Amino acid sequence: MKIVNTSINKMDSKSLVTGKPVYTDDIAPTNALIVKLLRSPHAHALIKSINKTNAMKVPGIECILTWEDLEQNRFTTAGQSFPEPSPQDRQILDRRLRCVGDPVAIVAGSDEKSVLRAISLIKVEYDVLEPILDFRKAKDNEILIHPEENWEALCQVGADNKKNLCAHEVFEYGDIEGELKACEIVIDEIYHTKANSQTMMEPFCTYTHLDTYGRLSIVSSTQVPFHVRRIAAKALGLPKSQIRVVKPRIGGGFGAKQSVVSELFPAAVTMATGKPAKMIFTRKESFTNGSPRHEMEIHVKLGANMEGDIKAIYMYTLSNAGAYGDHGPTTVGLVGHKSMAIYNHANAYKFDYDVVYTNNPWGGAYRGYGATQGFFALESAINELAVKLNMDPIELRRKNLVQVGEKMTAYYGETLESCALTECIEKAKEMTDWDHKYPCRDMGNDKIRAIGMAVAMQGSGISNLDIASAELKLNDEGFYTLMLGSADMGTGCDTILAQMAAECLECQVDKIIVHGVDTDISPYDTGSYASSTTYITGNAVIKTCETFIEKMIQESAKILHCDNDDLEFDGTRIYQRNGEKQITIKELGNASYLGGHNCISASESFYSPVSPPPFMAGIVEIELDKTTGQVDIIDFAAVVDCGTPINPNLARIQTEGGIAQGIGMALFEDVLYDKEGRMMTDSFMQYKIPSRLDVGKIRVEFESSYEPTGPFGAKSIGEIVINTPAPALASAIYNASKVKLTELPMTSEKILLGMLENEKQDKHDFTGGW
């Protein structure tokens, strides 16, 4: 390979670092109406009346829309393939308000000051209802979050709005109760993970206008342009043919923009006024009414014999969907199916869950998509099992990890074709000098250094469902245009897909022009989520290139008056094997644009019956202050098996970013509400994410396997990288303090209180550990 597996720069890097106008707000027209929302102050209420008379008198106000002005179609904002598993439980504006911040009215005007003035003059009379704010009390509660009769679940996901259930399922293999009863040791713990905000630097942002033909054009910072078109069509009551969605560069998504968040409000204004409109969420709105990670409580029972052979794994998950069911039925599935499968030798598995509605803000997709919560719970239980067995946690994992060629019962029965996890663990162990540092060292100054580890797996796209396409054409002068429907959200997928095409076409990357997503002209792609782009879209690019080369040879054969079978392609020309005739790609490109010849293009689609998992081992070394509970990260060693890294530098950056996010989830990020359901952590002053100074030294290495179904042997890397920090840190904290924390974030206050409690019980002992 000459181009693949090399670290070229991102194709858009110069534009991004020099501040070129590439993002949605940069390119929105200056005359666009400013759109903002009057939002609900109540967690649960019915609108009795809205008086907008005085607000409409504010100079510059163009329109104020309420629930009575808009289509009453119910839909989901979750950007997933149709039929969406998420219940159809929303309206653009609804009379029933289900969380603080739910939209009450859409206000549009010529400038922000006028719009804010108008919002302050709207008079709303509410019938305030009792909310459900504790997700443990939601199921079968007499208070219903969605009592409406036109609530609908398109898929059989166990949803029942009369029980506040967004989803419910039971998966069982083997005799779980019998196996647990027979085990010599059982770990039985409940873990709690909070909601987390994705905190992408570019907030939710959309502008809309009517094009020359009167069609609605939506320009938006989104990961799922084609899903936006479908969802907007249903919500607005328009044919899909009347909607065009364009995706400019995206300033981060991390799953937040896999939902339709800001798109529908300016779209409704444009349809009502005929004028361009734009909506940019404030940072506060992005916190309070974005689509954060689901809060979950996970009950784990882990059974083994005294030799460390895991015999049974049971996981029950209670997931808090919040007010709406976006991604509720699907995130929860990864909690068990991704985490349990890595320990593939058990005799019995059981995974069941309830996803419940509450009057909290709704959850959504976030990097890791449920697997992150599941791995925190199960890997923490594995580390606790190692303690109980007095066994090195690396040795415990060696005995139980899935191996190549095994059928993974808990992972939808897929067979593992590639895995270098054992090598990943060995390399991480070597990088950190595990044998000398495990479990902890007293530094003699009220500081203890300790080490902890975890492993994880993820997937590569959604098997048998999601699809990607690519289109390639030859231009005159012999350069290529690669059309993609996947959404580069800053990860560099446009670059790596161009690298794959360049490898196939045996040319330099700069000969390939990549065109991002415009639903009018791009080939269909379900979007950038589920760690799919490298694997799914990458395979579509390779298929397209193969067909494209065949077409170039066919056209060359006509020009050269010879048989297709006599011709070869070498990247710069198509030539006859006997050396008599040839045509350069430049000559072929020019000829194809003249009468008597054919313009050359090709398009292919790809979907996969499997979702091959990438793997990762993470080992963290911390220094813990015994007087304050403060944790400083000294070193985080990450070793990733993503098959063939298409662009090692971009893969490394993905890994470093994901680890930083995982550290934030583990130690800092804490969504808090008051007793009325109002979010108190709605700014970067209250919601702390780690800075560069907080994450310590992060070291990334790759231990590549070769995935036979992947493009050039590649698997995904986007999500796997966030899954190990939380359980590894929990283990290191225990090794340093003997404080077992089962709730995130693991703050210094919790650690210190735990140490004080240990002292009180006279159980404090720094001589042992994991």
Residues 517-565: pLDDT tens digits? 999 999 999 999 999 999 999 999 999 999 999 999 999 999 999 999 9
Write the CB contacts of 99 (distance below 8 Å, at least 6 apart in sequence).
Answer: 40, 43, 44, 289, 322, 323, 359, 360, 361, 362, 677
CATH fold of the domain at 13-131+198-289: Aldehyde Oxidoreductase; domain 3 (3.90.1170)
- pLDDT value at 761 more than 90: no
Architecture of domain 417-454+611-769 in CATH? 2-Layer Sandwich (3.30)
Residues 679-693: pLDDT tens digits? 999 999 999 999 999
Q: pLDDT-based confidence at 397, cuts 50/70/90?
A: very high
Q: How far apart are CA 8 and CA 501, in angstroms?
A: 14
- The helix/strand/coil state of 42 is coil
- pLDDT value at 709 more than 50: yes
- pLDDT value at 164 more than 80: yes
Mean pLDDT of 53-63: 98
Mean pLDDT of 225-253: 97
Which pLDDT score is estimated for 762?
A: 63
Residues 564-579: pLDDT tens digits? 999 999 999 999 999 8
Q: Do 187 and 385 touch, CB atoms closer than 8 A?
A: yes
Q: Dig out the tokens for 374 from the structure.
A: 């599941």
Q: What are phi and psi of 479, to 5 degrees?
A: -105, 170
Residues 430-440: pLDDT tens digits? 999 999 999 99
Q: Do 662 and 724 touch, CB atoms closer than 8 A?
A: yes
Residues 285-298: pLDDT tens digits? 999 999 999 999 99
Using CA atoms, how far residue 161 sits from 102, 166, 296, 300, in Å, is 19, 7, 20, 27
Residues 137-147: pLDDT tens digits? 999 999 999 99
Using CA atoms, how far residue 729 sits from 231, 486, 615, in Å, is 40, 34, 18
What count of residues does the chain have? Answer: 770
Q: How far apart are CA 6 and CA 516, in angstroms?
A: 22
Which pLDDT score is estimated for 770?
A: 43
Spatial CA neighbour of 479 closest among 516, 513, 433, 432? 513
Q: pLDDT-based confidence at 512, cuts 50/70/90?
A: very high
Q: Do 484 and 525 touch, CB atoms closer than 8 A?
A: yes
Residues 354-379: pLDDT tens digits? 999 999 999 999 999 999 999 999 99
Q: How far apart are CA 520 and CA 38, in angstroms?
A: 33
The secondary element (H helix, E strand) that includes residue 173 is strand 165-173
Q: How many CA atoms lie within 13 A of 405 on its CB side?
A: 0
Whether residue 131 is preceded by a cis peptide bond, meaning omega within 30 degrees of 0, is: no
- The helix/strand/coil state of 728 is helix
Q: How far apart are CA 216 and CA 238, in angstroms?
A: 9
- Please identify which residue in the block is written with the tokens 């404080």: 739
Write the CB contacts of 685 (distance below 8 Å, at least 6 apart in sequence).
Answer: none
Q: Do 345 and 383 touch, CB atoms closer than 8 A?
A: no
Q: What are phi and psi of 470, to 5 degrees?
A: -140, 155
Architecture of domain 462-607 in CATH? 2-Layer Sandwich (3.30)
Radius of gyration of the chain (CA): 27
Which string of DSSP letters, residue by residue, matches 260-326? Answer: --SSHHHHHHHHHHSS-EEEE--HHHHHHSS-PPPEEEEEEEEEE-TT--EEEEEEEEEEEEETS-T
Q: Do 193 and 207 touch, CB atoms closer than 8 A?
A: no
Q: Dig out the tokens for 449 from the structure.
A: 């250094």
Q: How far apart are CA 412 and CA 415, in angstroms?
A: 9
Strands 468-474 and 601-606: antiparallel
Spatial CA neighbour of 299 closest among 176, 137, 375, 189? 189
Which pLDDT score is estimated for 763?
A: 54
- Please identify which residue in the block is written with the tokens 């647990």: 180
Whether residue 439 is preceded by a cis peptide bond, meaning omega within 30 degrees of 0, is: yes
Q: pLDDT-based confidence at 516, cuts 50/70/90?
A: confident
Whether the CA torsion 386, 390, 391, 393 is positive or negative: it is positive
In the chain, where are the structural domains located?
A: 13-131+198-289, 417-454+611-769, 462-607
Spatial CA neighbour of 349 closest among 171, 186, 190? 171
Residues 248-278: pLDDT tens digits? 999 999 999 999 999 999 999 999 999 999 9
Q: Do 61 and 118 touch, CB atoms closer than 8 A?
A: yes
Is 759 or 38 the better-scoring residue by pLDDT? 38
Q: Is 50 left (phi over 0), alpha (psi -120 to 50) or beta?
A: beta
CATH topology match: 13-131+198-289 vs 417-454+611-769: no
Report the mean per-residue pLDDT for the chain.
96
| Number of CB atoms found within 10 A of residue 446's CB | 11
Q: pLDDT-based confidence at 769, cuts 50/70/90?
A: very low
Using CA atoms, how far residue 694 sits from 104, 137, 450, 562, in Å, is 40, 36, 17, 66
Q: pLDDT-based confidence at 596, cuts 50/70/90?
A: confident
Q: How far apart are CA 523 and CA 497, in angstroms?
A: 14
Q: Where are the beta strands (DSSP E) in 19-122?
A: 33-39, 45-51, 61-65, 96-97, 103-109
Mean pLDDT of 302-320: 98
Using CA atoms, how far residue 111 sits from 34, 116, 208, in Å, is 6, 9, 16
Using CA atoms, how far residue 636 sits from 37, 620, 621, in Å, is 43, 4, 6
Q: How far apart are CA 205 and CA 30, in angstroms?
A: 15
Q: Do 634 and 449 touch, CB atoms closer than 8 A?
A: yes
Q: How far apart are CA 36 and CA 51, in angstroms?
A: 17
Q: What are phi and psi of 503, to 5 degrees?
A: -65, -45
Q: Do 569 and 553 touch, CB atoms closer than 8 A?
A: yes
Which pLDDT score is estimated for 765?
A: 53
Residues above pLDDT 70, as percent of the chain: 99
